[in-house]
């Protein structure tokens, strides 16, 4: 099988026999509106959608229609508009965001002018008589108007495609602290980005730009240029386009079946692989009006390619091309309320509730008080794909959640850097954590928590100090999705185990343990002492405190029950069970349960 990892050229994908999940049946739906804005997280297949539209509507590819679309859904019943436009395409991810505002303006204009030159050369080569287009390298808007003047002399109009319209602006916003003036210089009343879209708007009114399709990651830039371009219909919440990008479960399963058959595995390997992909890659929903989940296509193709090539799963389930999304979490962590939001998402079943997802917020909102609002922060994370829609509450608020284990790993890594900013501390903590699943030895990790991690809590006023805090601290060091399917608050017959680490099915050959941990937290006042007294206790005295003894006893009962359920569910576990009890942020004791 040929998997088109990193390929966004629709024609090559189809004609060269690459794997493709047919979405051409969405084309008639897209024709219902002339100007559209379609938003999805990065690396989610937006560029392939634009390439599909480019190949379908390009008048110069009329003779290739059958070769490209004949075997697809739209080929059986094409629309009247097929192959009826000149295609003008801009890709703003190619615009250099470095330098000052004038440098960025020049890079933007150079890109626009370059695309116009390519447009002219292509259609002249294809035999279309076009009057000369005058390109002004100091004023790309003049070049656009010259292009339109040339098009007026033909029987055709233009379908304008803009890919990653906000890419270079997002790079400016994410890259440095003092981005405000640079960015505002692009989008203010006479800024090049706003005037570009004002020009596009004026050209649509003259029907020379008959259709416009714009993709991006967030609505931030479009919000800032609203008066410049207020004609685009936002289709990113529409349920009929929920799966325009991304794969569905039945499509995933069909591919896995082929690979399993090719590799000569038993049929039960199908469910194992599908379950693994579901855990790591599934969970994205982009509309309130559907409960359909889609898989991240880049991650899925990464998995397919590795599985087909080696008949084994990828060692790292997170493709490094997606790891850069951590910069969005870093941005949120720098906002005063953002840090606690990230921590709460890991603690509280990875869900958050807001009144609604905001679809209009601009740079001023991000730089001012609105950035302190939880709705803004959550909406921002939704657009960048690190949260997704999970349904509605009874009072019709929106539930959002961390979509899958790959995204959860980004949260955990970011929280680890927040709580343990020194690299040496993180390395020592991970070394101690490895002894838990390599040797079944919890003592070094508990000592590390007492001596070094708890200092972080003393230096910060964490009002969320409780059992969840303790669990989060341990999770940041124990998290390892190369070896384990990590889960906090694992549902076991409607009850919840605090932290389970079940070895991935393809890693069970290693000499490591599955791990189950129950966490308990005893407040200093409930133990009848202050922090200084707690620090003076010997280890034996610590275990003799009545409230700690009570929590250990309760925890032992829980992990024994949970352990039996896990053994029944998974079978063949090498399960190490622990109860970990913290006395304030001063001391930790544990019990290994047989």
Q: Where are the domains of the chain?
A: 10-241, 249-323, 424-594
How many whole angstroms separate alpha carbon 432 and alpha carbon 477? 8
End-to-end CA distance of the chain: 48
Contact 279, 405 (CB under 8 A): yes
Tell me the Cα Rg of the chain.
28
How many whole angstroms separate alpha carbon 2 and alpha carbon 18? 5
Q: What pLDDT is stored for residue 138 in this prediction?
A: 92
Contact 224, 188 (CB under 8 A): no
The first and second tokens of residue 204, run together, are 């649509």
Q: What pLDDT is stored for residue 569 in this prediction?
A: 86
Contact 304, 255 (CB under 8 A): yes
Q: Which helix (H) or strand (E) holds 549?
A: helix 546-570
Phi, psi at residue 497, to the nearest 5°?
A: -85, 140
Instruction: Give the number of residues written for the chain.
Output: 594
Q: Is 347 exposed, middle or buried (0-12, 13-18, 19+ CB in 10 A)?
A: buried
Give pTM, 2 decimals. Answer: 0.89
The first and second tokens of residue 433, run together, are 């954590």
Give the closest residue to 498 by CA, choosing from 523, 482, 475, 524.
Answer: 475
> Within its chain, how far is the Cα of 33 from the centroid?
28
List, run by run, the mean pLDDT of 10-residue segments along the chain (594 residues).
91 96 97 94 93 98 97 96 97 87 90 97 94 94 94 94 87 58 75 88 85 91 76 91 94 96 95 92 89 92 95 88 67 75 73 87 60 76 89 92 86 85 92 96 95 72 62 89 75 61 92 94 91 92 95 94 90 93 92 94
Q: What pLDDT is stored for residue 173 in this prediction?
A: 65
Sign of the C-alpha dihedral, residues 345, 348, 349, 351? negative
- How is residue 134 annotated by DSSP? P
What is the fold of 10-241?
Rossmann fold (3.40.50)
Kindly report the CA angle at 214 between 208 and 15, in degrees rounded to 5? 90
Q: What pLDDT is stored for residue 461 in this prediction?
A: 45
How many whole angstroms separate alpha carbon 89 and alpha carbon 162? 6
Q: What pLDDT is stored for residue 332 in this prediction?
A: 77
How many whole angstroms separate alpha carbon 19 and alpha carbon 25? 17
Q: What pLDDT is stored for residue 492 in this prediction?
A: 46
Residue 284 pairs in a beta bridge with: 294
Q: Return the number of other C-beta atoms located less than 10 Å from residue 535's C-beta.
A: 13
Contact 323, 385 (CB under 8 A): no
Interhelix angle 338-347/405-419, rounded to 10 degrees, is 130
> Within its chain, how far is the Cα of 313 from the centroid?
21
> Within its chain, how far is the Cα of 72 from the centroid?
29
Contact 297, 23 (CB under 8 A): no
Kindly report the CA angle at 92 between 91 and 93, in degrees rounded to 5? 90
How many whole angstroms separate alpha carbon 23 and alpha carbon 14? 12
> Within its chain, how far is the Cα of 579 from the centroid?
34
Unique residue bearing structure tokens 């099915």: 505
Unique residue bearing structure tokens 């029944």: 568
How many whole angstroms separate alpha carbon 317 and alpha carbon 323? 11
Give the closest residue to 295 by CA, choosing from 41, 506, 49.
Answer: 41
How many whole angstroms separate alpha carbon 581 and alpha carbon 471? 10
- 420: helix, coil or strand? coil
Interhelix angle 374-383/326-333, rounded to 10 degrees, is 170
- 266: helix, coil or strand? coil
How many whole angstroms separate alpha carbon 159 and alpha carbon 173? 30
Q: Helices (H) and strands (E) in the chain — how many of each? A: 28, 13
């Amino acid at each position: 099988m040929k998997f088109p990892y990193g390929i966004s050229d629709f024609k090559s994908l189809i004609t060269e026999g690459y794997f493709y999940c047919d979405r051409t049946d969405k084309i008639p739906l897209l024709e219902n509106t002339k100007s559209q804005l379609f938003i999805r997280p990065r690396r989610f297949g937006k560029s392939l959608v634009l390439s599909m539209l480019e190949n379908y509507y390009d008048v110069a590819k009329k003779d290739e229609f059958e070769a490209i679309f004949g075997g697809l859904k739209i080929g059986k019943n094409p629309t009247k508009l097929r192959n009826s436009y000149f295609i003008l395409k801009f890709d703003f991810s190619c615009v250099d965001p470095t330098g000052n505002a004038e440098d960025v303006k020049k890079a933007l204009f150079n890109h626009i002018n370059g695309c116009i030159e390519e447009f002219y050369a292509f259609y002249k080569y294809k035999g279309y008589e076009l009057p000369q287009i005058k390109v002004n390298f100091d004023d790309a808007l003049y070049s656009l108007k010259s292009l339109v003047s040339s098009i007026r002399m033909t029987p055709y109009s233009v379908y304008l495609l803009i890919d990653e319209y906000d890419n270079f602006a997002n790079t400016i916003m994410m890259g440095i602290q003092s981005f405000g003036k640079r960015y505002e210089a692009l989008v203010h009343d006479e800024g090049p980005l706003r005037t570009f879209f004002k020009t596009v708007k004026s050209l649509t009114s003259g029907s020379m730009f008959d259709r416009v399709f714009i993709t991006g990651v967030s609505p931030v830039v479009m919000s800032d240029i609203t008066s410049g371009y207020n004609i685009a219909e936002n289709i990113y919440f529409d349920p009929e386009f929920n799966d325009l990008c991304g794969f569905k479960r039945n499509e995933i399963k069909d591919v896995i079946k082929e690979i399993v058959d090719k590799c000569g595995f038993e049929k039960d390997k199908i469910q194992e692989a599908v379950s693994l992909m579901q855990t790591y890659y599934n969970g994205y929903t982009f509309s309130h009006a559907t409960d359909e989940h889609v898989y991240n296509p880049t991650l899925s193709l990464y998995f397919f390619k590795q599985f087909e090539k080696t008949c084994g799963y990828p060692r790292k389930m997170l493709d490094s091309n997606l790891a850069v999304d951590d910069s969005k979490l870093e941005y949120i962590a720098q906002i005063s309320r953002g840090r606690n939001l990230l921590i709460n998402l890991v603690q509280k079943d990875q869900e958050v509730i807001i009144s609604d997802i905001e679809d209009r917020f601009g740079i001023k909102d991000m730089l001012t008080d609105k950035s302190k609002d939880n709705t803004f922060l959550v909406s921002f994370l939704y657009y960048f794909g690190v949260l997704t829609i999970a349904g509605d509450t009874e009072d019709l608020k929106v539930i959002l959640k961390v979509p899958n284990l790959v995204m959860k790993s980004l949260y955990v890594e970011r929280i680890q850097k927040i709580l343990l900013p020194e690299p040496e501390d993180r390395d020592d903590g991970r070394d101690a954590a490895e002894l838990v699943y390599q040797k079944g030895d919890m003592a070094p990790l508990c000592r590390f928590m007492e001596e070094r991690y708890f200092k972080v809590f003393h230096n910060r006023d964490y009002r969320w100090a409780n059992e969840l805090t303790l669990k989060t601290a341990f999770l940041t060091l124990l998290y390892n999705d190369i070896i384990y399917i990590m889960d906090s608050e694992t549902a076991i017959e409607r009850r919840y185990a605090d932290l389970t680490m079940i070895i991935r099915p393809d890693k069970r050959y290693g000499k490591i343990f599955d791990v189950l941990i129950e966490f308990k937290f005893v407040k200093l006042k409930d133990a009848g002492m202050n922090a200084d007294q707690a620090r003076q206790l010997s280890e034996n005295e610590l275990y003799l405190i009545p409230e700690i003894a009570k929590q250990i006893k309760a925890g032992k009962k829980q992990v024994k029950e949970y352990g039996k359920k896990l053994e029944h569910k998974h079978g063949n576990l090498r399960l190490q069970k622990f109860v970990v009890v913290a006395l304030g942020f001063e001391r930790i004791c544990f019990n290994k349960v047989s």
